[in-house]
Structure 1
């Protein structure tokens, strides 16, 4: 069958946009551990589902380069994007192309991005954006420019906050405007190859700040410790991780398995001074292999994670007593507040596992802006429209416990406690020493004084036991830990009836 000349021209031009048309460049990228834009997109989306926008665009540099050179070296103006499906669910995907001028942002590339983001907004599509690249490109000359500050891409991308879930993936250097794309996303996945910064080496040197290698601008260990990156993975796992995160936003899954719940009876130590890993609690209450921990090395005293209970996505916050005894620090307040905003915006019920001595205290802590940062958690909790279920595992003391429970033990849909838990206005021994200060000072013998403290603390523990707190109806129930998952699942069923479990759609802050 003969092919018309015009169709042949289209097919030939399309072939130039594929990776196969630039094998040497692809080989060099692979040699240093990179992947092409089309490889990333191909792994993310369902086969054959991509509907691409702007495939034939080239860089706006025709006044200084030949057309054949533009077709060969500025394919799609450095950004590939379109609509597709992931596991049958409609979504959008964009990827800067590191094979085209290091993934820099060209003026026509901005127009393509804006066009696609407009479609994303119209159709409310979850979006994955492969953000690596060198920032704005100053070499486009076909479009008259002075400042280029009228570019609308960043506002369009930021405006989608709360409207659609947005996941950014960074697997290479990601500077300036590309870093803004990552930073404005709801979740950021990055690899050991990533380096993120608001300015790359050229901008740093131009500002008189010295010569810095690209890899040293914002390496992955720095970006995980400061909370910029939500999930750090090996390079070959980035796309699969993005797909996993996207799945939390695509609705319930039908197939799930429940872990053995009896393990919960022994996971928390009896003594208050023994630290333990709270992640097994989270992983046991949630469906098998459904938990993804976010920002694990930023404010590790507070765990945040996404998971599922009977197939339904939930958000989890939990105190980790291995760090700062589980106290609420300034960083923990920011971390938890931002996570609650994310859950509220997209309709994820929240499970809060409480084991905290309260807010962090002391002059060093106050220098971190503790008052304002921890108050963020109270404000975010008070604004929650999604159900919050609180479970006091062992210690629920002071304002820290209240913050973990939305501001009060009666704010959650239900507040539960496990056997052995204690609740109080502050740590019990501290409360004894404070409330009985004069009486204790009157005891001259130090040994007798400390013995008195121990006796009074034991009495306070009895008085503040979960059963006694429940007897006064300050919490709703004390349960066998093995019942936790079942109770949570039934509460969420009640909350979700008739489609009432909806997100607020409010913007998610970037802290």
Structure 2
């Protein structure tokens, strides 16, 4: 890595040891990290420098802020994430880069795309790569009802964590709960999805460096979807299948612009193959690819060296993962020719059951598959591990079977089942595996039915319920939470006994309509957050013609899921909990996720009935949470911003100024990534106004007053005493450009928000075109007669599809979202009814900013040109015209979306070039209606300037005027649209009724582009 001096290894165990050694071979300083309960790990002992993290267990290594602090404090300028933990976390990768650290892995954008299994599946489907049917958890019931099993999978991470197979008749909800819990523990993200389960399939991986294939591997030998043995190259794979998998992996990498190491995984069964996922990182099984290619993959990561050709594999390599639990009284790895051991053990080390149990990876290489398997069996036999329990015998058993190299993913579970949880000759419940007791559901003396869950074990970051195989009474319960148990250890003893109906773990018929006491208490607590609990306050609000925060959100979206509904103001030091629950519900900010016409959206509203909608500590935390979710899931945000700004009365916590609040930065960071809608109804000051101003579009009702400081702040600054309604009324903010859309009331504001968002959600399913013949009469034959360009816009667009933004600002230009043949577009137009269509500073600002908005969200732009040019003169220059109008050229030059121009009448000078994205050769098309006229400047002005002396020489005023009109007519004939088209300076002159055909043919949807959209 060019310019890197010191590397932080943000991981543990054998992969941390692997990277430490690779860094040492390159003479690169490396710093290890360790959680508080992991100080004795081998990677800590080997590292010259190690930094302790504040947490314990996996959570310690999932603390991105702590890892960044460790990098800074130790002087590191690069971070290697290893695999697992935060290796696929785009936010952490981005945070590293923003902190000036080199991230050893794919860039954050690639992690967001390919680290999210649902987005990766969508990309594969887009490229025509076979993908198993699947989607959100809500779709699982349909698969199960059709008789198909489903696989629940974590969206983030990999390694088999957060995965469950659910078959028809099994408990889907419990499987989802367990998967979420495991995913949250392993990756810090509990989002899951489902796909159709493909039984008896081979698991084949393709290793990439950038978009170059380095080889493939078979990883089918698994237990509970945890890999045990991996082989490179994949044995017995048909040549055409191998080639197809490599081609699919390359296509995915190229479309994603992939850089770095990565693995594309597939399922292969009965001659068919399906894309599974992408792991955009180093993988545990990278070792077998190294052995058959001679490449050092970690070295490639650290040096940045490129590979241009697929290497030819030499022989076969097999890796066996040795798992262990307990204390290593002796640890002596095997050796010899063709053997490699990547381990993290030493004599005297006690393995921590909270982490992955991998003790070592033993890798054997030979010219034949049989030779490699034989060598690996010998190595496992020689591997001396005493004191700790291992799976070496299981691995040796597997490697002796003829199915090695041609197994499917459930082969191990079928041929080598684990011991049952209950001994057959006695009702003794034993541990099915080594792990940690995380939950105990029953107690001694309790009667349980067959199938009742007694306790839950955590092993390899996965949770395993232990159930009673027979009914009885618990005579002994031998464990408690946090106990570490080994496979076969006695957990409980059941004595025979009749299980009473009320104690039978489900034998009694449940009353599904009567809530348990804990649920009843929760319902009572939630009732305090609802409008019904606030009586007279809500009545007074309604009397003033206003709606509450919850009413607005209920009108905006369906299926609303609220975050932080039970939060209260951070004022426990000065007020009772009962007072806060009754008077500060949700801390004055209602927020969560809902849907609008089937599309998910973040919706949040300040509640003016709670402390005047001020911004409290808990509200800030909720905003932060939801803004981060919006960025991760690419969800639009609708913010009802009414409120008075920062709240000085919160007393809980140790803060002083509150200036370390992240809400403003997080909301601003969404700019250009997801649509942001701000709504102001009533008083919106200070911090609330700042958030409103960061929105893409501002909607306001007539009673709104918007200001960066409220009356108290103004008075405190010695600037006078003002009523709140005087600070920034809509009469001011509408004409100065702050407000984009004026609404009649709260309900209309919601309607406008619901109308705005669909422009960024793809084409409409149905649409209606106006009578296009009317366009032939929209521009008067008299070239000097003014006309209403909005009638042209309505005539070109689908019926009822025009949404004009900032109508009362920059009136010389019109900016609107429209649809043509159902497809959304951005539209800019000159307004000949204002300054004859001349572009002044406000109009230029309005257009320039609108171009950014369209480009950020992939909306093609249609320009309707009718301008004599830019506004000139001393008065115009006092508005900084030179800078403002030039914004149109700069922003148009940066467009990545298609742009098309139709000249309605005047196309003169620099103004016309600006309306054509900088010049007539820039747009995808520039055509004119028959009424079009062109020139380097207005015809009359051109004649007066060009023929000044000749006209001045004519003494008779009448003769002079006649000569002037004759010259103007000649210039008009020269600049007439058909004459300009004959020189091919424009693409064509068209019948106005043909305009929609040009638009729908050439203005195809663009690709959203991450860019900043100016708030102005």
Common fold: TM-score over 0.5 = yes
The answer on 1:272 being equivalent to 2:783 is yes
Instruction: Tell me how far apart the structure 1 counterparts of residues 628 and 735 of structure 2 sit (CA, whole Å).
Output: 34
SS at match of 1:448: helix
Greater shift, 234-243 or 441-450, is seen at 441-450
Q: Is the 8 A contact 1:313 1:348 kept in 2?
A: yes
The answer on 1:394 being equivalent to 2:905 is yes
| Cα distance, 1:4 vs structure 2 | 2.6
Q: Is the 8 A contact 1:74 1:100 kept in 2?
A: yes
Choose from 195, 206, 224 the match for 2:705: 195
Instruction: Provide the residue aligned with 1:95 in structure 2.
Output: 605
Instruction: Provide the residue aligned with 2:1009 in structure 1.
Output: 504
SS at match of 1:139: coil
Q: Is the 8 A contact 1:341 1:508 kept in 2?
A: yes
SS at match of 2:769: coil
The answer on 1:119 being equivalent to 2:629 is yes
| Cα distance, 1:247 vs structure 2 | 1.4
Greater shift, 169-178 or 4-13, is seen at 4-13
Instruction: Provide the residue aligned with 2:674 in structure 1.
Output: 164
| Cα distance, 1:310 vs structure 2 | 1.0
Instruction: Provide the residue aligned with 2:470 in structure 1.
Output: none
Instruction: Tell me how far apart the structure 2 counterparts of residues 171 and 92 of structure 1 sit (CA, whole Å).
Output: 19
The answer on 1:248 being equivalent to 2:759 is yes
The answer on 1:443 being equivalent to 2:948 is no
Instruction: Provide the residue aligned with 1:295 in structure 2.
Output: 806
Instruction: Tell me how far apart the structure 1 counterparts of residues 908 and 785 of structure 2 sit (CA, whole Å).
Output: 16
| Cα distance, 1:146 vs structure 2 | 2.1
Instruction: Provide the residue aligned with 1:177 in structure 2.
Output: 687
Instruction: Tell me how far apart the structure 1 counterparts of residues 786 and 542 of structure 2 sit (CA, whole Å).
Output: 45
Instruction: Tell me how far apart the structure 2 counterparts of residues 302 and 312 of structure 1 sit (CA, whole Å).
Output: 23
Q: Is the 8 A contact 1:390 1:405 kept in 2?
A: yes
Instruction: Provide the residue aligned with 1:425 in structure 2.
Output: 936
Which residues of 2 match residues 76-475 of structure 1 at below 5 A? 76-235=586-745, 236-475=747-986
Instruction: Tell me how far apart the structure 2 counterparts of residues 163 and 3 of structure 1 sit (CA, whole Å).
Output: 43
Instruction: Provide the residue aligned with 1:481 in structure 2.
Output: 992
Gaps of 5+ in 2: 1-510
Instruction: Tell me how far apart the structure 1 counterparts of residues 957 and 795 of structure 2 sit (CA, whole Å).
Output: 46
SS at match of 1:205: helix
| Cα distance, 1:443 vs structure 2 | 2.0
Instruction: Tell me how far apart the structure 2 counterparts of residues 229 and 333 of structure 1 sit (CA, whole Å).
Output: 17
Q: Is the 8 A contact 2:779 2:931 kept in 1?
A: no
Greater shift, 435-444 or 450-459, is seen at 435-444
Highest RCO, 1 vs 2 (Cα 8 Å, sep ≥ 6): 1
In proportion to residue count, which structure has more strand?
Answer: 2
Q: Is the 8 A contact 1:34 1:172 kept in 2?
A: no
Q: Is the 8 A contact 1:418 1:466 kept in 2?
A: yes
Instruction: Tell me how far apart the structure 2 counterparts of residues 272 and 298 of structure 1 sit (CA, whole Å).
Output: 26
The answer on 1:34 being equivalent to 2:546 is yes
The answer on 1:16 being equivalent to 2:521 is no
SS at match of 2:851: helix
Greater shift, 380-389 or 364-373, is seen at 380-389
| Cα distance, 1:84 vs structure 2 | 1.1
| Cα distance, 1:453 vs structure 2 | 1.1
Instruction: Tell me how far apart the structure 1 counterparts of residues 533 and 814 of structure 2 sit (CA, whole Å).
Output: 46
Instruction: Tell me how far apart the structure 2 counterparts of residues 449 and 382 of structure 1 sit (CA, whole Å).
Output: 44
The alignment's TM-score, normalised by the length of structure 1, stands at: 0.97
Instruction: Tell me how far apart the structure 2 counterparts of residues 80 and 465 of structure 1 sit (CA, whole Å).
Output: 59
The answer on 1:74 being equivalent to 2:579 is no
> CA RMSD, aligned part only?
1.0
SS at match of 1:50: strand
| Cα distance, 1:274 vs structure 2 | 1.7
The answer on 1:50 being equivalent to 2:560 is yes
| Cα distance, 1:440 vs structure 2 | 1.9
Choose from 512, 515, 519 the match for 1:3: 515
| Cα distance, 1:201 vs structure 2 | 0.9
| Cα distance, 1:445 vs structure 2 | 2.2
SS at match of 1:81: strand
Greater shift, 432-441 or 241-250, is seen at 432-441
Q: Is the 8 A contact 2:771 2:795 kept in 1?
A: yes
SS at match of 2:800: coil
Instruction: Tell me how far apart the structure 1 counterparts of residues 704 and 905 of structure 2 sit (CA, whole Å).
Output: 39
Instruction: Tell me how far apart the structure 1 counterparts of residues 656 and 946 of structure 2 sit (CA, whole Å).
Output: 68
Instruction: Tell me how far apart the structure 2 counterparts of residues 146 and 237 of structure 1 sit (CA, whole Å).
Output: 40
Instruction: Tell me how far apart the structure 1 counterparts of residues 526 and 656 of structure 2 sit (CA, whole Å).
Output: 33
| Cα distance, 1:276 vs structure 2 | 1.4
| Cα distance, 1:233 vs structure 2 | 1.2
SS at match of 1:60: coil
| Cα distance, 1:272 vs structure 2 | 3.0
| Cα distance, 1:51 vs structure 2 | 1.2
Q: Is the 8 A contact 1:175 1:198 kept in 2?
A: yes
Greater shift, 137-146 or 301-310, is seen at 137-146
Instruction: Tell me how far apart the structure 2 counterparts of residues 392 and 447 of structure 1 sit (CA, whole Å).
Output: 34
| Cα distance, 1:504 vs structure 2 | 1.3
In proportion to residue count, which structure has more helix?
Answer: 1
| Cα distance, 1:221 vs structure 2 | 1.4
| Cα distance, 1:246 vs structure 2 | 1.1
Structure label with greater radius of gyration: 2
| Cα distance, 1:435 vs structure 2 | 1.2
Instruction: Tell me how far apart the structure 1 counterparts of residues 726 and 573 of structure 2 sit (CA, whole Å).
Output: 36
The alignment's TM-score, normalised by the length of structure 2, stands at: 0.49
Alignment deviations for residues 165-191 of structure 1 (CA, whole Å, 9 cap, x no partner): 011111111000000111000011110
Instruction: Tell me how far apart the structure 2 counterparts of residues 454 and 304 of structure 1 sit (CA, whole Å).
Output: 35
SS at match of 2:781: coil
Number of equivalenced pairs? 503
Q: Is the 8 A contact 1:299 1:335 kept in 2?
A: yes
SS at match of 2:569: coil
| Cα distance, 1:283 vs structure 2 | 0.8
Q: Is the 8 A contact 1:344 1:385 kept in 2?
A: yes
SS at match of 2:966: helix
Instruction: Tell me how far apart the structure 2 counterparts of residues 429 and 250 of structure 1 sit (CA, whole Å).
Output: 46
Alignment deviations for residues 307-342 of structure 1 (CA, whole Å, 9 cap, x no partner): 101111111111111111110101111000000100
| Cα distance, 1:231 vs structure 2 | 0.4
Instruction: Tell me how far apart the structure 1 counterparts of residues 756 and 961 of structure 2 sit (CA, whole Å).
Output: 52
| Cα distance, 1:505 vs structure 2 | 2.0
Gaps of 5+ in 1: none
Instruction: Tell me how far apart the structure 2 counterparts of residues 118 and 421 of structure 1 sit (CA, whole Å).
Output: 50
Instruction: Tell me how far apart the structure 2 counterparts of residues 77 and 266 of structure 1 sit (CA, whole Å).
Output: 58
Instruction: Tell me how far apart the structure 1 counterparts of residues 779 and 579 of structure 2 sit (CA, whole Å).
Output: 65
| Cα distance, 1:215 vs structure 2 | 1.1
